[in-house]
Chain A
Amino acid sequence: MRRWAGVALLLSLLLMPATGLPSEIQRGDHLWEDDDRLLARLDLEMNLPEVLIEALANGVGLDFRVEVRLERQRGVFTDRVVASAARRVRLEYYALSRHYLVTDLDQGRVELAPTLGDGLEMLARRLGRVVLEVEPGTVVPGLGYSLAGRVLLDQAALPLPLQWDARLRGAYMTRFGWYRWPLE
């Protein structure tokens, strides 16, 4: 009987509807640090589905990526991307000290969080700061610009068996969709 349990599980997984991640970008803000450096600040509410929490607890590291675009609004046409930047942050469980590690994969900076909640806060904080390098003269005053940001789970960084599930069911779908706010 057990041997058919796998088939039943497989079928149930295939037939089970995908569950989305209730995370979202709550607010977007920006700040010109310099003439050619624009700091985008995203206020993120990070939550993980049970399956990812379980994976995290079992040693699976989760890579998140934040993408930010500066777009010029062109009416009926697709907005043109003027500048873009991304940042990758990993969240993983550190069994030796029973902490959660939040590693900025771009800068190599590591932070420790004693709980998952702290780790998610750190994650949100890390992901919520992205610097866009804007070429001087690109942004023309008077034209409409907007910033767009999104956060997604890097499924390719998941272990392959989890990628099956992620691909087949979209169970780990963590796309927030593009959140836009005007450039002022």
Chain B
Amino acid sequence: MVSVAFGINRLPWGLLGMVLLFLLLLASLLVMGDAAQNSARFEQLFLWLLAFHVLVLVVLGTLIVYQFGRLIAQFRDGVPGSRLTLRLVAGFMLVAVLPVTVVYYFSFKFLNEGVDSWFDIRVDSALEDALELSRSSLDLRVRQLAAETQEIMRQIRDISEALAPLALNDVRVQVGAQELTLVGPNNRIIASSTDSPIRRLPSPPGPDILLRMSPGQPFTRLEPQADGTLVIRVVATAGDRRPGADSRILQGIYPVDPRMTALAIRVQDAFVDYREFAYLRGPIKQGFIFTMSLAFAISLMAALWAGLLVARRLVRPVTDLAEGTRLVASGDYSTRLAVSRDDELGFLVRSFNAMTRTLSEARHEAERNRRLLDAERAYLESVLQHLRSGVLALDGSLRLRTANAAACQILECDLRRGHNRFLFEFDEDCPLVAQFFEVIRDALLGGDEEWSREVVVFTRSGRKVLMTRAVWLQESGNNRGLHAIVFDDVTEFLRAQRDAAWGEVARRLAHEIKNPLTPIQLSAERLSRRLGKTLEGPDREMLDRATATIVQQVEAMKTLVNAFRDYAQAPRLELVPLDLNRLLSDVCELYVGETLPVEVLLDPAPGLPLIRADAGRLRQLMHNLIKNAIEAVQGRPDGVVRVTTHSVEDGNGRRVELRVADNGPGIRPEFIQHIFEPYTTDKPRGTGLGLAVAQKIVEEHAGIIECHNQESGGAVFVIRIPVSHGVDTGDVGEERE
């Protein structure tokens, strides 16, 4: 996998997003700070900004908790890079939290103590005193006007309603009142005078005023007006009477001197502002602390989140490198890391990729060479395995390195399981190998670079002649080398040579000896007839004995020559599908009888496949083998000849196996190797051709014959003849014979 990012893909989108988020947060905090100073903006934005910041806090907090949880889980699981990430994040946290906490601490302290320092008890007292002074000053004026109004009320209390307006107007002008109103019983206005050029309807004292009036005490009240001016309202009664249905009251409204009004209101405004400010001190601090805490929390969270992102971003190449290194260590050279940076880590990643690419190419080259070597080895192995010659390779210390199938077959040992063993270690399990090594050891150790010899080893089925050649192969560049030993089993070849020689001998004997035998026999008989009439007595007896002997020996020689002829001349075979069990049954039937001292037992295998064979030749073969076996056990009271058939599967295909076993003395070992050669017999009256003919018949049917002694005693002859392909089992018609 090669993933190299170029162009727009190389932009750190995550980082840009993070920066944008921070800028957005910063802007929103600034807007929030501005809104905190502006009532209208506060009304519009505060809740939205607060919700936004809380949402950001919750999201950041959730992400941080999730990331931390994931990081800790990865750390516990030993995920590569998690430890470094954790350390970096801890470092970032330390770097972020410490200064922010310090700033927060001092800001908090400044807010708490700084805001308090804005207020001074002396200012508070001074403002209160100033307000009290204003009140006193105004009270003085109020009391003065109350006295004057009371005096006016006493003067006009009994004035007639007709004169009241003029009198009130005079008095009003005289005292400088804004309005004077004389109210009679039931709050009826008797007369009123005002300084306004526009006549306005006088307002009688309200019930709240009348209720608050005390007997003999005028009601006074300083009243601010909508236009910012102050007036003093005085309501006076006559004497000690309470205002009632039968009494008159006078209400006077007096303007306060504008300068005094301005001063008093200014003092009051300052006092109220200061009191309000002092009262709002707590909420102000709370607001500042809240904004600051929010900014602190967001900054902290953002710093943590940024720390996590930056740590992961920093560690990712290292993690990738660690993972890539692990993969390379485990043999995966195809690992390629994405190059997303231009810094030193990017250089490291590129170097890693170059290294893995080089390793991969080297590995591919090595792999290709290995495949070539394997192919060469396989080819060599195939050649070796298909060689009919046995091949062994021994190192300098005579350890077995290589053995082909033919070597295993010839030496009757699975040599490939004995790889790297010394040849002399093949003793009990592979006796032929031990024999073979015993013979060639001297030659191997003799130092000859090349040698050959005929090695004879003995098996249970006879001796084997192995034509052996060896050569010492020196490895280039060192002192090591190999003994390459090639050997062929030439036993059959030699046997075939011998058989051919014997066949030629037999043919010549038949031709050269049989021809003079008949004239000899005729001459001997003629001598007996002619001279027998002339001789008498002992001479005649001698003549008869001599001629009889000649005739008898000639007959014997004819028999011998005929046997040689049969051996030498192969008859024309008539191969037909044959049921061997049925043929054996017919043959063995001839050997069943009370007169026969030997028991012949037939044990045919059921379902035996058919073979293609000449029934006459096979019958001759069976007679030969059974007679041979009977002769072997003759004279034994428990002599038994056991004839069995089997269907066997060997490396050369499916075959029908015939076994003729006896419990006689067995074959002498020195005869086993030559037992199928002509004139090889240990019987006093045998021709020595029976088994040679038997072998010839078996070979005519592409079969093999072997014999060996049984461990339980006696000899056994084993014949294997290939199954006839395309022909079913032998439980079919008789015409097949």
Contact = CB atoms under 8 A, between A and B. Distances in A.
B106 to A, nearest CB: 11
A98 to B, nearest CB: 8
B283 A118 contact: no
Categorize the interface residue count of chain A. 35 or more
A137 interface: no
A6 B283 contact: no
B109 to A, nearest CB: 6
B68 to A, nearest CB: 25
Nearest to B268: A96
A2 B284 CA distance: 16
Nearest to B286: A10
A76 interface: no
A160 interface: yes
A164 B279 contact: no
A97 B267 CA distance: 13
Nearest to B37: A160
A39 interface: no
Nearest to A122: B208
Contact of B282 (A9, A60, A95, A118): A9
A164 B290 contact: yes
Categorize the interface residue count of chain B. 35 or more
A73 interface: no
Contacts, number: 114
B208 A163 contact: no
A101 B224 contact: yes
Contact of B135 (A54, A96, A112, A114): A96
Contact of B290 (A10, A54, A156): A10
A165 interface: yes
Contact of A55 (B38, B109, B131, B279): B279
Contacts of B635: none
Given A96-B264, A109-B226, A160-B37, A3 B273 contact: no
A163 B286 CA distance: 11
Interface string B95-109: 000000000000011
B112 A110 contact: no
Contacts of B221: 97, 99, 112
A58 B274 CA distance: 9
B225 interface: yes
B733 to A, nearest CB: 106
Contacts of A155: 43
Interface string B325-355: 0000000000000000000000000000000
Contacts of A60: 276, 279-280
Given A95-B268, A165-B286, 19 more contacts: A3-B112, A6-B111, A54-B279, A55-B279, A58-B275, A58-B276, A94-B224, A96-B222, A97-B222, A110-B224, A112-B223, A160-B37, A160-B39, A161-B283, A162-B280, A162-B283, A164-B36, A167-B46, A168-B290
Interface of A: 2-3, 6-7, 9-10, 13, 54-55, 58-60, 93-97, 99, 101, 103, 108-110, 112, 114, 118, 155-157, 159-165, 167-168
16 contacts: A6-B285, A10-B289, A55-B279, A58-B276, A60-B276, A60-B280, A94-B224, A96-B134, A96-B222, A96-B265, A97-B224, A156-B39, A156-B43, A161-B280, A165-B283, A167-B47
Interface of B: 36-40, 42-43, 46-47, 50, 108-109, 111-113, 131, 134-135, 138, 208, 212, 221-226, 230, 264-265, 267-268, 271-273, 275-276, 278-280, 282-287, 289-290, 293
Top 8 closest A-B pairs, CB basis?
A161-B283, A58-B279, A59-B272, A59-B276, A97-B222, A156-B43, A164-B287, A108-B226
